[in-house]
Structure 1
Amino acid sequence: MYRVLVAVSDDVDQARKQAEFVASLPGRGALDVTVTHAYDETNERGPHGESLPPEESDGVQAAKALLEDAGVPVETRETYHPVAEGVVDLAVDVDADLVVVGARKRTPIGKAVFGSVTQSVVLDSPVPVTVVGVE
């Protein structure tokens, strides 16, 4: 079994591109895919004060649907802020063999000011990372 963690954002088109990449990997039947999206730790509370799980983001729903349509088994997991750290921790937790992240077009100044989740995941991941870019 080859375990793949797909970390998506709210960008549905990007999430679909990431899912298409995973669906194109050889041996789809031997893939075990986890799709995740980072959420705030301030989830809504239920009537008894319990933390309610967040609804799946549009990106998660799009990636999950595309992968399921391609016959790839998918599970979804939550991760929380800080995003890059959460993705790397989840990769370890699910024993991933590969992490698939998306890239956004950003100026060098934008990267310097706001940081880059993709860059942090690439640098900190204990397993290979595939970056699926935008066209």
Structure 2
Amino acid sequence: MSIIVGYVPSSEGVAALETAITEARKSQKLLVVVNSSRGDALVDRRYVQGDDIAAVADRLKAEGVEHLILQPVRGNGAASEVLQAADEHQADLIVIGLRKRTPVGKLIMGSTAQQILLEADCPILAVKAAPRN
């Protein structure tokens, strides 16, 4: 049993990670952090590397959260990777960050959050980043 969080280095990703840490600490479950790339990891700004991924691992360790960081690069979209991790790790909860998109933006680009919301077999906690001042 676990909690899965889709993580990207953005305000939405940080909000999702913070919430997932809180939930993992409360339930004392494994926290699985999923940060993926379709295959262009060297230029994908959403794919966390080097010191940045080490900082995430250090944060989880400092919080005392049992965790696993997955960074698949196999051509799948982020939603597919989160859903696969949820199946493999018997997720009790998936935590995702939301960002505002226009209807046209959703139509053209699709929605990772929408795919997860529609296809997940477990509860989903969707969080928004704190408003910027």
TM-score class, shorter: 0.7 to 0.9
Q: In the alignment, residue 33 of structure 1 is paired with which amino acid?
A: L
Q: Would you say 1:70 and 2:86 are equivalent positions?
A: no
Q: Would you say 1:10 and 2:15 are equivalent positions?
A: no
- In the alignment, structure 2 segments of 5+ residues that lack a partner are none
Q: From the superposition, tell whether residues 89 and 29 of structure 1 become closer, same or farther in structure 2 (CA, over 3 Å).
A: closer
- In the alignment, structure 1 segments of 5+ residues that lack a partner are 45-53
Matches within 5 A, 1:29-108: 30-41=28-39, 56=49, 60-61=53-54, 63-79=56-72, 80-108=75-103
CA distance in 1, matches of 2:97, 2:51: 15
Q: 1:37·1:60 contact (CA, 8 Å) conserved in 2?
A: no
Residue deviations 1:95-116 (CA, integer Å, cap 9, x gap): 1111111111211211111110
Give the % identical residues. 23
TM-score between both structures, scaled by the size of structure 2: 0.75
Bigger radius of gyration, 1 or 2?
Answer: 1
How many residue pairs were aligned? Answer: 124
TM-score between both structures, scaled by the size of structure 1: 0.74
Q: In the alignment, residue 39 of structure 1 is paired with which amino acid?
A: S
Residue deviations 1:65-98 (CA, integer Å, cap 9, x gap): 4332221121111235222122111110111111
Q: 1:28·1:71 contact (CA, 8 Å) conserved in 2?
A: no
Q: Would you say 1:119 and 2:122 are equivalent positions?
A: no
